Chain A
Amino acid sequence: MIPVVGLLIGVIVGIILDPTVPLWMQPYLPIAVIAALDAVFGAIRANLEDVFDDKIFISSFASNVLIAAVIVFLGDQLGVGSQLSTGVVVVLAMRIFANAAAIRRNLFNRK
């Protein structure tokens, strides 16, 4: 419950403060957000299955964001930036869908 409130406060603070992102960070931000979303969905699934471990969440959040940024950075250096970021987004989206399906099944089975 508290993390949900944290997310909402984050959104509100983001809207109010309207911070500007440094230019070098701009290509990485959307990918990083999707990577972080993947970690969050994984955490919700784990929570429903009662195997949530905050250590795993923290490390997966950090590593997801970092790896996504590194892949996009590498892609930009190799000249295949847009293709690689599409690839990353596709893979992460697939994972999010898989997690969402697991969450849904779990919720139905709870009854």
Chain B
Amino acid sequence: MKKKISIKTPEKLQTPQGRKYLVVILVFLLGIFITIAIKQNDQPELLSSAREGELVLILDDLTKQKDLLEDELIKQNQVLESLKNGSNEDARKAAQDRIDQLILLSGTAPVSGRGIQVLITGDLYSVNSFTILDTVQELRDAGAVAIEINGVRVINSTYFNDTNTGISINLTPIRSPYKILALGDPETMATALKIPGGMSESITTSGGQVIINEFSSLEIQASVPLTTPQYAVPVTEK
């Protein structure tokens, strides 16, 4: 036997007409929620909405990176120690090496070497500032020492923004196609971009196009002016 349960409903809901409206309103709300849910899924992952398991993975990753950096620190300290005790000639050679490294890292002079050219075409949906940032990070992970995007040198303080027509690098607006030059081991960098689920795949699945060319000799002309440090100076040990 089924028992009839009577729930008190508002006046309006007791008329068939009122219920019909409610049905339409509910379906209308569903439409809005579907678009919101899809959009929400499009956005890059935020830490605040990540679940515990993902956070643990991220933490693990960061801890590993920290360990690597600490190892690097110890090595550099050893180099420093040996320089202090070493001869003049050694010191000069090490200093010249250091200058070359710094020129590469700071991007204050044109550089050349082996590398790859990445040509990315796509609309605002498939290529945005996050994709470009991902690409730059992917390239750096793969050992790129100098990167240029559409004539703008990418250095440690470079930042990317979305604009109505494409993206902007350090407020310089650029648009598709994005031509990225990166110096480093061409094979490693090309492989890094092509890994399944990586940058190349995510751009092509969302409708963009990625062309990667390897070069045995490539030149990056763009450079940034050398600025004098204003707020901090290196500590000289005595």
Contacts and interface: CB of A to CB of B under 8 A. Distances in A.
Given A19-B36, A36-B33, A10 B28 contact: yes
Contacts of B32: 10-11, 13-14, 17, 19
B20 A54 contact: yes
A29 B224 CA distance: 46
Contacts of A26: 40, 49
B87 interface: no
Interface string A15-38: 101110101001101101100110
Nearest to A53: B19
Nearest to A62: B26
Nearest to A21: B36
A14 B24 CA distance: 16
Given A54-B20, A58-B22, A82 B53 contact: yes
A33 to B, nearest CB: 5
B27 A40 contact: yes
Contact of A29 (B16, B25, B26, B36): B36
A23 B50 CA distance: 11
For the side of the interface on A, what is the size category?
Answer: 35 or more
Interface string B7-37: 0000001001001101111111111111111
B227 interface: no
B217 interface: no
A14 B20 contact: no
B125 to A, nearest CB: 13
Given A19-B32, A36-B33, A37-B30, A3 B23 contact: yes
A54 B24 CA distance: 10
A8 B31 CA distance: 7
Contact of B23 (A11, A13, A33, A58): A58
Given A3-B27, A33-B30, 17 more contacts: A6-B28, A7-B28, A7-B31, A10-B29, A10-B33, A11-B32, A11-B35, A14-B34, A14-B39, A19-B32, A23-B48, A30-B37, A30-B41, A54-B16, A57-B23, A61-B26, A81-B52
25 contacts: A2-B20, A3-B23, A6-B25, A6-B28, A8-B31, A10-B30, A10-B32, A10-B33, A11-B35, A14-B31, A14-B36, A14-B39, A26-B40, A26-B49, A29-B33, A30-B41, A32-B33, A36-B26, A40-B27, A40-B30, A54-B20, A57-B23, A58-B26, A81-B51, A82-B53
Interface of B: 13, 16, 19-20, 22-37, 39-41, 48-49, 51-53
